[in-house]
Each structure stands twice: as C-alpha cells, then as structure tokens.
Amino acid sequence: MDIDMDIDMDVDMDVEGSLPDMVRDFERVRPDLIEQASRFAASIFADVAGRRGGMHGRIAPLDRASRFCGTALTVEVRPGDNLMIHAAMALAKPGDVIVVDGKGDQSCALMGAIMTNQCKALGVAAVVLDAASRDADEIRELGFPMYSVGTNPNGPTKLVPGRVNHPIQCGGVTVRAGDLVIGDADGVVVIEREKVAGLIGRAAEKVTAERKRIDGIRSGQALRPAWLDASLRAAGVLKEGEAL
C-alpha cells in the first residue's frame, strides 16, 4: 500500500497541535460500498490493487470459514497489553473492524472469549490482531471472525497507554482508520478508503475474466494462458519468434 500519513479526519487537536492519543471519530467507507466490496474475495482486491495490501500470512483466521468486510478502527498497543483495545471497543460502531498493531507478540493473548462476545454484541465485524488470541474453540463456536498470529493461554495486562485511530502497521501493511479491510480463508487485505469505489468495478471485471479462464481450462480449449509465450520471450527464456 502507499504509505500516506495524512489523516483525513475531523478531530480536535490537543494544545500542542498534534492528534490526541485517542481519535474518537473518522470518515468511514460508505455502507453501500462495503456491501458491494463484500461480494469479492480478498485475493481479488489484492490483485486489482496492484498485488498490494495483503497482510503477512502469519495473520490467519481461527476458523477458515471466516469472512468479513468492513471499515478499519485502528489500535496500537505495547506488546502484551490490551488496555487500548478496550478503549477502541468503547468507540466502535457496527460494521467496524478492529485492527491491532500488537507488534507480532505471541507471549500472551490480547483477546479471548469475553472480549469477543462483547465485540459481537457491539456489531463489530471482525478483529485482526498482529498478536496472539486465546479461547479459540469458544470463538469458533461464536462464529466471530478473529484473525491473529496464533494462540497463547496467557492473559494480557491492562496498564500501558497506546493509541486509537492513528495509522498503524499490521502484518506489514499500513492501515489507517477508515480504510476498507477484507478477510477470508486466504488472509486479510487492506484498501485505502479513497480507492474503494474505483476498485469495485475492476474487481467485477477480474472475476469475469477469471471465470472465463476457468471455463476454458475445464473445456480443454485453453489449457495454458495466452500470454505465456510472450512473457517467456520477454524474460529471455525463449528466443524471438520461438514458442512452446
């Protein structure tokens, strides 16, 4: 993703002119765009966004049947402390996806069944943790989309300040409050809020093209991609005029 640190938010600055640690509101993706985007796989959006925005594969769903699409509410915490996640949940609106920069820490879980039940009751669409979770079986039974770097039975502390709705890094991707977040069995993709509307049409075109390609394979009429020879020549594997 492009790293754009400009914050498009209508918020009050503190006395020094900087953003407060907790930004309480921000511009979200329009509900109609979220509904349209939810029809596509995460991989489709990653492709049409230039093969960018996909989080590292260490962040995976507890339940591979999980699927979600919503607006990012971002949280930065110190490793092993979930105080600011509780603050974020207090600010969350239905459809938000809580995305947490937990520094990849796996020494303890930042969230478990109690917080997940609270998220579900609040209408939170999903949680994405660059950290560990716990109570995996209970969370699967809830049917709540929880993505994390693994599990650990240890609980967190609730002592250390952090930030809410500032730009964060999660799974190697820059995430801003208000960006679109899409997840399924393949993992999580983040799309800048400003680009969502323009990419939905391209996503539909991509799906149509892929279906045509698969139909050609199944029918036996297109058992290799049409671009293969040209790409091999461009790479120097085949000589000019040569073909497989």
Longest dimension (CA), the chain: 69
- The answer to the question of whether 134 is labelled as a binding residue is yes
How many angstroms separate the CA atoms of 79 and 96, rounded?
Answer: 23
Q: Is 112 annotated as a binding residue?
A: yes
Question: Is residue 170 within 8 Å of residue 75, measured between CB atoms?
Answer: no
- How many Å apart are CA 147 and CA 234, to the nearest integer? 40
For residue 104, the surrounding DSSP H or E stretch is strand 96-111
Q: Check: CB of residue 75 under 8 Å from CB of residue 63.
A: no
Known binding residue 135? Answer is yes
Residue 179 CB contacts under 8 Å (≥ 6 apart), including other chains: 29, 71, 72, 190, 191, 192, 193
Beta carbons of 12 and 20 less than 8 angstroms apart: yes
113 a known binding residue? yes
Annotated binding-site members: 112-115, 134-135
Binding residues for Mg(2+): 135
Binding residues for substrate: 112-115, 134
